A and B are shown apart, each in its own frame.
Chain A
Amino acid sequence: MENKVKIYTTPSCHYCSQAKEYFTENGIAFEAVDVLSDAEAMKEMKSISGGARSVPVIAVNDAVIIGFDRNAVEKALKAS
């Protein structure tokens, strides 16, 4: 199954850039949204993450990971 990845970011967040680089390097397509300029994305991020107030929030298929936790991301990718 094709992995569905969405990253919720802020512009000044280097961990967000690292997460995006990770997916690019591994050839995994992703959608990135800036929660500061996109109120809908902010709402969505909060609702799927149980109210996270920290970026990045990474949704891999049904799994939601707060922060760029490489191991958790890999696990979620493998689970698909």
Chain B
Amino acid sequence: MEVVLYGTEECPFCEKARTFLSARDIRYREINSPPGSAVWEEMRKLTGSESLPQILIGNTAIGGYADLVNLELTGKLEELLGVSAGKQQSSLYDVIIIGAGPAGLSAAIYTIRKMLKTLIISKDIGGQITWTSDVENYLGFSQVNAAELVAKFEDHVKKFDVEKVIGEEVAAVDLVGRSKRVTTGDGKHRFGKTVIIATGGRHRPLNIPGERELLGKGVSYCSTCDAPLFRGADVAVVGGGNSALGAVVDLISIANRIYLVSLTALTGDPVYREKVLKSEKVEIFLEHQPTRVTGETMVEGLEFKSVLTDELKTIAVEGVFVEIGIQPSTSLFLDILATNQKGEILVDTECRTGLAGVFACGDVTTVPFKQVVVAVGEGSKAALSAYSYLMSQK
């Protein structure tokens, strides 16, 4: 079916219509129609409207840009374009979930059970939980290997046969308007009536000289993965929360000597604190801030200073484990969604972001306590909110 667009150059909605059509690979012929011109008169006769743009699909005058969007949302656009019934299903999702950690996977369970057409896009499955070894505080599991827990989450979602795009990172989003566009790194576009952001977070780097240069050469963000490679070595762990203390506990049975460097007092769980304080292998420097990782081709030491006296110290270590928490993965959304100082997306109690049809859940949001169980709960809330929103739009 031929698509014709009557438009002019300086017309923002013509531009939107062009973008809409090309993003969906819908071919169209444009007719430049300055108001008052002969073609514009012809358009007026054909469509009964004077405003630009006007879009014709075959012989049907569908109206302007907003009408185009409406047709898509009601599923009638493909019908008009003559896309075959089998293919029709594939273009517009009720929900696109970005991220497949505990929050995203939990959201998926809820949207699928509400019979919403759901797509999950994520670069991996499991998210940060895969950085830990065991989980001991998830209800129903007194101790479970993190990878096993992720596998259980994944199996649960698989039972419902949900569409997934795994391995691709989202490169761009257009979340304003009623039809949201999500573009992956390979240039493919997907469209949804709602989007649930569950992108979680990634390791917060120290941003000091030597850190990036010696990554993998002694600098590590994954003590679970790399701690066993430091048998008998002297190492430093940076941080004072649960991740840092967890890393120290892992290392006690492996390394020779462990230096724990923390900007603050130790804030991790007492269970961990006790083990760390009891070990003779561990030396603790509180209120100290790392300033440089030393070494040419391999980590040779860590330099840090007292925040009270500015006194510099250097310790000889072969490994530096950076465990200073996470930073939210929100770079795609900073321009369009409200965030706090840490870059976390502001949400209300129903996981709404302030942008209609856009929800967020889990570690990427301002919701405190970055725990698996919290993320799972928030994921379900975001899904149910998306469902309410979709019902209200009918």
Question: A residues within 8 Å of B by Cβ?
Answer: 10, 12-18, 22, 35-36, 42, 49-55, 66-67, 70
> A14 and B167 in contact (CB under 8 A), knowing A52-B216, A53-B216, A53-B319?
no
Provide the B214-237 mask, 1 if CB < 8 A to any CB of A, else 0.
011110101011101110000000
Question: Is B225's CB under 8 angstroms from A10's CB?
Answer: yes
Question: Is A66's CB under 8 angstroms from B216's CB?
Answer: yes
Question: Is B126's CB under 8 angstroms from A53's CB?
Answer: no
Q: State the CA gap A40–B132 with chains docked (Å).
A: 27
Question: Is B297's CB under 8 angstroms from A15's CB?
Answer: no
Question: Is B298's CB under 8 angstroms from A51's CB?
Answer: yes
Q: Within the complex, what minimum Cβ distance (angstroms) separates A68 from chain B?
A: 9
Q: Which residues of B sit under 8 angstroms from A17, Cβ to Cβ?
A: 147
Q: Pick the residue among A13, A14, A35, A53 that contacts B318 (CB under 8 A).
A: A53
Q: Which residues of A sit under 8 angstroms from B130, Cβ to Cβ?
A: 14-15, 18
Q: State the CA gap A14–B319 with chains docked (Å).
A: 20
Q: Which residues of A sit under 8 angstroms from B123, Cβ to Cβ?
A: 70
Interface residues in B270-309 (C-beta closer than 8 Å to A)? 297-299
> A14 and B225 in contact (CB under 8 A), knowing A52-B217, A53-B217?
yes
Given A15-B222, A53-B217, A54-B222, list of 13 further CB < 8 A pairs? Answer: A10-B225, A10-B228, A13-B225, A13-B226, A14-B150, A15-B130, A50-B297, A51-B298, A52-B216, A53-B220, A53-B319, A54-B226, A70-B167
Question: CB-nearest residue of chain B relative to A36?
Answer: B228
Q: Which residues of A sit under 8 angstroms from B299, Cβ to Cβ?
A: 53
Question: Is A22's CB under 8 angstroms from B217's CB?
Answer: no
Q: Which residues of B sit under 8 angstroms from A70, Cβ to Cβ?
A: 123, 167
A-B contact count (CB 8 A): 67
Closest 10 interchain pairs by CB?
A13-B225, A14-B130, A66-B216, A54-B216, A54-B226, A10-B228, A53-B229, A12-B224, A52-B216, A51-B298
Question: CB-nearest residue of chain A relative to B319?
Answer: A53
> A13 and B319 in contact (CB under 8 A), knowing A50-B217, A51-B297, A70-B167?
no
Q: State the CA gap A27–B146 with chains docked (Å).
A: 26
Question: Is A16's CB under 8 angstroms from B217's CB?
Answer: no
Q: Which residues of A sit under 8 angstroms from B20, Cβ to Cβ?
A: none
Q: State the CA gap A53–B220 with chains docked (Å).
A: 8
Question: Is B319's CB under 8 angstroms from A15's CB?
Answer: no
Interface size of B as a range = 20 to 34
Q: Which residues of B sit under 8 angstroms from A53, Cβ to Cβ?
A: 216-218, 220, 226, 229-230, 298-299, 318-319
Q: Pick the residue among B146, B228, B298 that contacts A14 (CB under 8 A).
A: B146
> A13 and B216 in contact (CB under 8 A), knowing A54-B229, A70-B167?
no
Counting CB contacts under 8 A, is B131 at the interface? yes
Question: Is A18's CB under 8 angstroms from B124's CB?
Answer: yes
Counting CB contacts under 8 A, is B133 at the interface? yes
Q: Within the complex, what minimum Cβ distance (angstroms) separates B227 from chain A?
A: 8
A to B CB contacts below 8 Å, 12 in the list? A14-B146, A14-B224, A15-B130, A15-B225, A22-B167, A36-B228, A42-B229, A51-B217, A52-B217, A53-B216, A54-B229, A55-B229
Interface residues in B119-143 (C-beta closer than 8 Å to A)? 123-124, 126, 130-131, 133
Question: CB-nearest residue of chain A relative to B134?
Answer: A12
Q: Within the complex, what minimum Cβ distance (angstroms) separates B325 from chain A?
A: 19
Question: CB-nearest residue of chain B relative to A14?
Answer: B130
Q: State the CA gap A51–B11 with chains docked (Å).
A: 59
Question: CB-nearest residue of chain A relative to B124?
Answer: A18
Question: CB-nearest residue of chain A relative to B223?
Answer: A12
Q: Which residues of A sit under 8 angstroms from B216, Cβ to Cβ?
A: 49, 52-54, 66-67
Q: Which residues of A sit under 8 angstroms from B220, Cβ to Cβ?
A: 53-54
Q: Which residues of A sit under 8 angstroms from B218, Cβ to Cβ?
A: 53
> A14 and B230 in contact (CB under 8 A), knowing A52-B217, A67-B216?
no
Q: Within the complex, what minimum Cβ distance (angstroms) separates A39 from chain B?
A: 11
Question: Is A13's CB under 8 angstroms from B222's CB?
Answer: yes
Question: Is A16's CB under 8 angstroms from B225's CB?
Answer: yes
Provide the B309-331 mask, 1 if CB < 8 A to any CB of A, else 0.
00000000011000000000000
